[in-house]
Amino acid sequence: MLKRLTLSLALSALLLGTLTGCGLIENVLGGGGRQTSTMWADVPMPSDMTQLNKSQLPLPIRLIFQALLQSSPQTGNVQLENFEVIVYETPKTTSEITQFYTNERMAAAGWNMPDMGCADSAALGADAGFAGCMFGKQNGNTKTFLGIMANTDPARNVTEVYYIRIQSTER
């Protein structure tokens, strides 16, 4: 799974340069999600996090998140248009974010789907300042997916962390 996640991050990063200027991509993926006002009770958070007032996912984050969803065998027919977003910033690095979100910590918080986890750009051989995590849980016929996308802003020396939550019901 981690290999697939790393491959998705690498491919997404390579595609960003050619796709970010294309208005068609923007129309297909949609703008953002519904912003939530507080972190969900079942999502642990590292210290030193400050909430930002953002609900619009930047195009690179949306492309990476979509690649993560499509590469996971667990996601099925999840629609990207139906999600909630909460954004924080931290002085932590993307590697520190992925080290915090271990499978053990997330399982203790109720995230019970197998083959989930985190990868960061350091695993690709050079720290490009981005990371992604994907966790899921199932309760009856309801599946909930949590994407955590971290992106370093070198100009401000902070990392923005986007938490994206999608819930779907199997029919």
pLDDT at 127: 59
In the chain, how many domains are there?
Answer: 1
pLDDT at 28: 37
| Predicted confidence (pLDDT) per residue in 98-146, tens digit | 999 999 999 999 999 988 899 887 766 655 688 889 999 988 888 888 9
The parent domain of residue 128 ranges over: 2-169
Take residue 26 and report the two structure tokens written for it: 């923007």
